[in-house]
Structure formats: C-alpha cells, structure tokens
C-alpha cells in the first residue's frame, strides 16, 4: 500500500481481506475475545503476544481504520480514541506527568485550550502559550527545564492561523522534545505534518474525516521518528520499567516505531477507557473512503466564498489563509499548496445585530456549533460560544461581535454564493 498515492490509500489502506472474507471492514461487535488456555491469555496481559482481549483497550475494527489513518499520515503506528479531545489529552499525557510543562500555540481549539490550561493544570502540568507567528527567539524562550512537548494546530479552529511546522519542529527538537500537531482541519489529504518534522499527529475525526456529521471520534498517529531513549531522562514513562506490566521498558521492547502507541493503548486506554466504538470506526471509514474527493471541493467552495465575501461592502474583513493577502498566505501555500479547508471567518459591519439578521436570512447554511461536514453551517461566536463576553472582551480576543464562522460544505458554490448574497441583501434592507 505504501507505493500508492494518498487517493488510493483513502479508499483501500488499512484492511486487506483474504479469500472469501468481507470486502467491507467487518464491525467486530464484541466486548471480549475467546482463548483456549490461561497461558495464551497471560501472554497478552504481559504484552508478550499481540492480540485482542477486551474492547476497552483494542478492537480489530478500530485497528483497521487506525491503520488506514496511519498510512495517510505516513506514521509508524496509530490508534483511535472516542473523540478529538481524548486524542489530544492522550497524546500529551502519554509523555507528560505532574511537574511537566508544555509549550503550545495560543491559537488552538477552545476545547484543547481548556484541556491544557485548566484541566491538565489540575494534574500539575503547566503551559506556556506562544503566538504561532512568534519569532524563533520568542519560541525558544518559552521552553523550560521541565518542558516535555510542543503543541499546535496546522490550521487553527476557529482562528484560521497557520502553524509554521518546520519552525516549531526545529525548536522542539533543539530542546529534546517532540512536536505534536493537531491536523484536523487540512486532513492528510492537504497536509502531512510528519513530512515537515512533526513527531505525533492528532485528529478530531468528527470533522472532515467523518465528514458527514455522523460520529464523534479522534485519532493519534506516531511518526516513529522521535528517539525517546536519546532523551530518556525526560521520558521515564517510555524509557524506564512499567510496574503495571512486569517491568517492561516500552522504548526498548517496542522500539522507536511502536513505543508511543503501545504505551498509550496499554496504559491510558486501559485506565481511562476513551475507546471509539467499532460502529463509529466503521462510519469513520466510510468517510475516509471519499476524503480525497471531498477535500478539494471543500477548498474550492471555501476560496470561492471567501473571494465573494471580500468584495461585499457589508464585509469588514475576511479571514481565510488561502486568500491572497492573508497574513498566513505564504505559510499556507508552503504547507498546503492544494488548499487547506473549507472554514472561513468574516466580520460584518453592524456587529452582533447584523450577524444575527444575516444568519437568520441564510437558507442553505444552518446555525450549528459544528464545522467541517458536507452541509454548510455557520456560527456567530458573540451570540453562542462566546456569549458571556462583553464587546471589549470580544475585540481583545480577536473575535469581534460581528464575526461569523462559515464552514463551506459540499453544495454547489454558485448556490452557496447566491444564498450569502440574498442574506446580505436582507441585512441591507
Ligand atoms: C473539534 C476539534 C477538536 C475536538 O474534537 P472532538 O472530536 O469534538 O472532541 C480538537 N481539535 C480541533 C482542531 C477541532 O476542530
């Protein structure tokens, strides 16, 4: 499969049925798995043999789909989680513990911002946020003796800033820690962060990968490129014996290619149980089979709509990285020459009231907290997710009251533009 292009991998990677076996991946709807002897079972519990014993840790359906996502990102090992939140928590907590420090881009998904700055803080993990556009000096100055990971999003949700992956990877590696990149918005069809130096990639598969607004899920992919043993003093969880598995040293027993995901499955999945259901994994795979066909259309619609909006007198500003003139245009074209995603944000003159009237007048675009699925949807942060903020607080956060986030779906771009046009006319009236 590794010789094929990403288009073919979207359709066929991860699962190769044998003679007479199901063509579509089977949903293994079973919590448990049968063994003939206790010795056989014991080998699994000692991580001496590979196999399934309980779906809280691993399930074959999930592993077929994880293997596909692993192939798409060019990783060495991968796993599915119950949500994108679980994926980012596991990816960080697999190498951080009480007393650790994270360097993270300040421009990240609100849920991840809360996870790191509030919930992980309660576990004793601290964070320094940096502007994704900061200089190398500012970035290097954020590191501490106890820094264990660097985190950012390829295209941030909802700020739509673009991460300079090479800059962040260089700084992470200079300090002996891995770079974790959340690649949810571009998907591996448009960007493969591992090729630019990222060590671990995460996804909210809830977004474009599923692509139909049908199943919440997440994924973690390890590049296999980070040399844990070369920095053994920083990563005792991977480089010293695990008492809960008879003293196994993950980085020795499973090597650079397998240590991270094996530890994440056998410790974090065992103890937290944030597994994706096999039914959801099956639905996710249906989405993946057409990801390479859908992403170009999302991008085509996104750019056409951004260009249209930019020319409208009611629109103060349009934020879309692939729109010429955008602050992140050059970075976007470097990492994503074929397009990024279909999500746009723009500010309407007239603030909250104008945004509300505009969105009420839209016929195709529904008001939702979701993004990145087949149906176009929109949201005004000032009256929904950021409702409790005052006008001044909204401006300080870079989310003016008249800002609308629009996720362009797979409809015809002419219909989308016509819908926006009639809604703008309604605001004008
Ligand atoms: C939605 C999202 C998440 C969280 O994913 P869930 O599947 O909703 O838990 C994380 N990162 C990014 C970039 C997202 O867009």
Return the closest-CA partner of residue 409 out of 342, 362, 346, 323.
342
CA 369 – ligand 1 centroid, Å: 11
**Whole-number Å distance between alpha carbons of 266 and 36:** 22
Any ligand 1 atom below 6 A from CB of 207: yes
Which numbered atom of ligand 1 lies nearest the CA of 185?
13
Residue 205 CA: nearest ligand 1 atom is 7
Shortest-distance Cα residue to atom 2 of ligand 1: 204
Q: Is the CB of 216 under 6 A from ligand 1?
A: yes
Q: Please work out whether the CB of residue 85 comes within 6 Å of at least one atom of ligand 1.
A: yes
d(CA 87, ligand 1 centre) in Å: 9
Q: Residue 58: CB within 6 Å of ligand 1?
A: no
Radius of gyration of the chain (CA): 22
Q: Is 405 in the pocket of ligand 1 (CB under 6 A)?
A: no
Sheet with strand 343-348: strands edge to edge: 315-319, 343-348, 403-407, 377-379, 366-367
Total residues belonging to the chain = 429
Q: What is the pLDDT along the chain (429 residues), one digit of tens a residue?
A: 788 999 999 999 999 999 999 999 999 999 999 999 999 888 888 888 889 999 999 999 999 999 999 999 999 999 999 999 999 999 999 999 999 999 999 999 989 999 999 999 999 999 999 999 999 999 999 999 999 999 999 999 888 999 999 999 999 999 999 999 999 999 999 999 999 999 999 999 999 999 999 999 999 999 999 999 999 999 999 999 999 888 999 999 999 999 999 999 999 999 999 999 999 999 999 999 999 999 999 999 999 999 999 999 999 999 999 999 999 999 999 999 999 999 999 999 999 999 999 999 999 999 988 899 999 999 998 888 788 778 887 777 778 899 999 999 999 999 999 999 999 998 887
Q: Is the peptide bond before 158 cis (omega within 30 degrees of 0)?
A: yes
- The pLDDT of residue 146 is 98
Ligand 1 atom 1: residue of nearest CA: 204
pTM recorded for the entire structure: 0.97
Q: What is the Å distance from ligand 1's center to 218 Cα? A: 8
239: CA distance to ligand 1 center in Å? 30
Task: Report the 10 Å Cβ neighbour count for 230.
Answer: 12
Q: Do residues 56 and 25 make contact, with C-beta atoms less than 8 angstroms apart?
A: no
Q: Is the CB of 112 under 6 A from ligand 1?
A: yes
Q: Is 61 in the pocket of ligand 1 (CB under 6 A)?
A: no
Q: For residues 259 and 365, give the distance between their C-alpha atoms in angstroms, rounded to a whole number.
A: 44
Q: What is the pLDDT of residue 312?
A: 97
Mutation to probe ligand 1, out of 80, 82, 84, 155 (largest number of atoms < 8 A from CB)? 84
Distance of CA 429 to the CA centre of its chain: 41
3-state secondary structure of 137: helix
CB of 222 sitting under 6 A from ligand 1: no
Please name the residues in contact with 216: beta carbons below 8 A apart, sequence gap of 6 or more: 82, 83, 84, 206, 280
Cα 187 to ligand 1 centroid, rounded to whole Å: 13
Which distant-in-sequence residues (6+ apart) come within 8 Å of 90 by Cβ? Answer: 81, 220, 264, 268, 269, 272, 274
What is residue 204's predicted lDDT score, i.e. its pLDDT?
98
Residue nearest to atom 4 of ligand 1 (CA): 84
Predicted local confidence at residue 116, as pLDDT: 96
213 lines ligand 1 (CB under 6 A): no
- How many A from CA of 231 to the centre of ligand 1? 30
Ligand 1 pocket check for 153: Cβ under 6 Å: yes
Beta-carbon contacts of 226 under 8 Å, excluding residues fewer than 6 positions away, are: 178, 199, 200, 256, 260
Residue to substitute in 82, 104, 207, 218 for testing ligand 1 pocket (most ligand atoms within 8 angstroms of CB)? 207
Distance 274 CA to ligand 1 centre (A): 15
CB 304 within 8 A of CB 344: no
The pLDDT value given to residue 90: 98
Per-residue tokens: 17: 């049925």
Atom nearest to 85 CA in ligand 1: 9
Substitution candidate for ligand 1 out of 206, 277, 343 with most atoms within 8 A of CB: 206
């Amino acid at each position: 499969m590794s010789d094929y292009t990403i288009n073919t991998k979207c359709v066929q990677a991860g699962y190769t049925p044998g003679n007479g076996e199901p063509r579509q991946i089977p949903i293994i709807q079973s919590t448990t798995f049968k063994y003939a002897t206790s010795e056989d079972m014991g080998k699994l519990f000692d991580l001496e043999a590979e196999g399934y014993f309980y779906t809280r840790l691993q399930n074959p359906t999930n592993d077929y789909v994880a293997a596909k996502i692993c192939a798409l990102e060019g990783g060495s090992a991968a796993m599915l989680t119950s949500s994108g939140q679980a994926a980012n928590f596991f990816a960080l907590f697999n190498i951080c513990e009480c007393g650790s420090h994270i360097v993270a881009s300040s421009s990240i998904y609100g849920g991840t911002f809360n996870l790191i700055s509030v919930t992980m803080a309660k576990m004793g993990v601290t964070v320094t946020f940096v502007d994704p556009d900061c200089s190398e000096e500012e970035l290097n100055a954020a590191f501490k003796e106890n820094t264990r990971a660097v985190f950012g999003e390829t295209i941030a949700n909802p700020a739509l800033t673009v991460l300079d992956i090479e800059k962040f990877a260089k700084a992470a590696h200079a300090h002996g820690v891995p770079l974790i990149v959340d690649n949810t918005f571009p998907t591996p069809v448009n960007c493969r962060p591992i090729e630019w130096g990222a060590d671990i990639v995460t996804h909210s598969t809830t977004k474009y990968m599923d692509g139909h607004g049908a199943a919440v899920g997440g994924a973690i992919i390890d590049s296999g490129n980070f040399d844990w043993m070369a920095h053994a003093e920083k990563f005792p969880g991977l480089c010293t014996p695990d008492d809960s598995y008879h003293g196994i040293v993950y980085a020795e027993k499973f090597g650079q290619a397998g240590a991270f995901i094996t530890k994440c499955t056998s410790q974090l999945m065992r103890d937290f149980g944030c597994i994706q259901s096999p039914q959801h994994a099956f639905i996710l795979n249906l989405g993946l089979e057409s990801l390479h066909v859908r992403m170009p259309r999302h991008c085509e619609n996104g750019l056409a709509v951004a260009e249209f909006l930019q020319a409208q007198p009611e629109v103060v500003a349009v934020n879309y990285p692939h729109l010429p003139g955008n602050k992140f245009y050059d970075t976007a074209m470097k990492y994503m020459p074929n397009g990024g995603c279909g999500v746009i944000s723009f500010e309407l003159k007239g603030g909250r009231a104008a945004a509300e009237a505009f969105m009420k007048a839209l016929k195709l675009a529904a008001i939702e907290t979701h993004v990145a699925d087949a149906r176009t949807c929109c949201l005004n942060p000032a009256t929904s997710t950021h409702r409790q903020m005052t006008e001044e607080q909204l401006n300080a956060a870079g989310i003016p009251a008249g800002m609308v986030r629009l996720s362009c779906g797979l409809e015809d771009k002419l219909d989308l533009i016509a819908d926006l046009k009639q809604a703008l006319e309604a605001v004008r009236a």
